[in-house]
Amino acid sequence: MNTTLVAHVDTPGGGQVWIDGNTMYVGHMSAPNGTSIFDVTDPKKPRALATVDEMPQGWHSHKVRVANGTMVVNYERSGKDADPEFGGGLGIYDVTNPSKPVLRKHWKTAGAGVHRFSFDGRYAYISPTAEGYNGRIVMILDLADPANPVEAGRWWLPGQWTAGGEEPTFTDGRGPRCHHPLRLGDRLYVSYWQHGGAILDVSDLAHPQLVGRLDYTKTFPHPTHTLLAMPEPLKGRRVMLVADEDVDKRWPAAPAFMWIYDITNETAPVPISTFQVAGLDPDGAPQPPNTGCHQPSERFSGSILPCAWFAQGLRLVDVSDPFAPKEVGSYLPDPPAGRERRQSNDVTIDDRGLIYLVDRGGGVDILETSVW
């Protein structure tokens, strides 16, 4: 609906797709594939430029962000056979010439490494495991000198800093896990998986301060994947989208959906509506994982957001009325070869308004839409 396929790019399964100028970067789900780089100046004829990081077994590098000639990818343990000598963290590359990426630094952290993150060209807002902490925390890295990252600040939920004497407060068997932080102005919006999310004041990066919390996960079964604040008020309210991921459910449940929160009062976020793909949940019955919501595009313009909805492909959601979000476009790619279902994992847009949708089983679809 209201979308047209421009081109399909045959790649190994991807966890994230990112566009910088006319260059597309794809972080792959599984070793040995790391990151692929394509020229999409002519979106009808994407051209392969380079691949980086032949990943060792047991590790993957499935997330990628690029700004100011610097590419940042994650290194995360993904199997029991992971060689600890490789080490989790970040790979930081010079991609001034995208055809010839140059590794500037393999920044390492203790444990399983970094999951998802964001990067604004100076600071990386990451979700590492760290020495002395239970689970993943929030960390801010200063990449002013990409070859020498410097920690600028960190934050964690009370009870995570076990080495500092904090008593664990998580008794339900679900360890705390920062999923990833997103910055807007002097706020950091942090998803925390099975422990909801947090809004942090980062006007002083060295000392992030808690502003507000949301934690509905004892009532709803799905983990919190993304907190995405809208930059402009909608209907006179400050609004935040909260995407639950349709995996790792606390109990068998219907597919995950996306919340709309009013954060006009940041100290007390209030849900005001939800969005689900029509017909996906006819009776509340449990369905297989990876059927429902995953990830809204972290780059968008206006009030229409592309969303990767796992088995439901691309969904274009208009939130101009945050009390009544509605679907205005969609695209269902074919399942990758050898796969029974599509698994649309991530989506972004470029400055031309083209949409890039990656499947965790394989392939990127480049789309155009008539809704903007």
Res 189: pLDDT? 98
Question: How far apart are alpha carbons 178 and 203 in whole angstroms?
Answer: 20
191 found inside a domain: yes
Are residues 181 and 188 in contact, defined by beta-carbon separation less than 8 angstroms? yes
Residue 173: pLDDT band with limits 50, 70, 90: low
326 found inside a domain: yes
Residue 288 has pLDDT above 70, yes or no: yes
253 found inside a domain: yes
Q: What's the CATH number where 187 sits? A: 2.130.10.10
334 found inside a domain: yes
pLDDT tens, residue by residue, 197-227: 999 999 999 999 999 999 898 899 999 999 9
Q: SS3 letters for the chain?
A: CCEEEEEEECCCCEEEEEEECCEEEEEECCCCCCEEEEECCCCCCCEEEEEECCCCCCEEECCEEEECCEEEEEEEECCCCCCCCCCCEEEEEECCCCCCCEEEEEEECCCCEECCCEECCCEEEECEECCCCCCECEEEEECCCCCCCEEEEEECCCCCCHHHCCCCCCCCCCCCECCEEEEECCEEEEECECCCEEEEECCCCCCCEEEEEECCCCCCCCCEEEEEECCCCECCECEEEEEECCCCCCCCCCCCCEEEEECCCCCCCEEEEEECCCCCCCCCCCCCCCCCCCEECCCCCCCEEEEECECCCEEEEECCCCCCCEEEEEECCCCCCCCCCCCEEEEEECCCCCEEEEECCCCEEEEEECCC
121 found inside a domain: yes
Res 217: pLDDT? 85
Bridge partners (DSSP) of residue 210 are 200
Tally the domains of the chain: 1
Res 169: pLDDT? 79
Res 53: pLDDT? 77
Bridge partners (DSSP) of residue 287 are none
Q: In Å, how far from its chain's centre is CA 95? A: 21
303 found inside a domain: yes
206 found inside a domain: yes
Res 170: pLDDT? 79
352 found inside a domain: yes
Res 103: pLDDT? 97
Residue 253 has pLDDT above 90, yes or no: yes
- What domain range includes position 17? 3-367
Residues 6+ apart with CB under 8 A from 292: 244, 246, 254, 255, 256, 257, 276, 277, 280, 281, 309, 310, 311, 312
pLDDT tens, residue by residue, 103-154: 999 999 999 999 999 999 999 999 999 999 999 999 999 999 999 999 999 9
What does DSSP say about strands 304-308 and 314-318: parallel, antiparallel, or unpaired?
A: antiparallel
Mean pLDDT lowest among 173-177, 183-187, 353-357: 173-177
Residue 35 has pLDDT above 90, yes or no: yes
Residue 41: pLDDT band with limits 50, 70, 90: very high
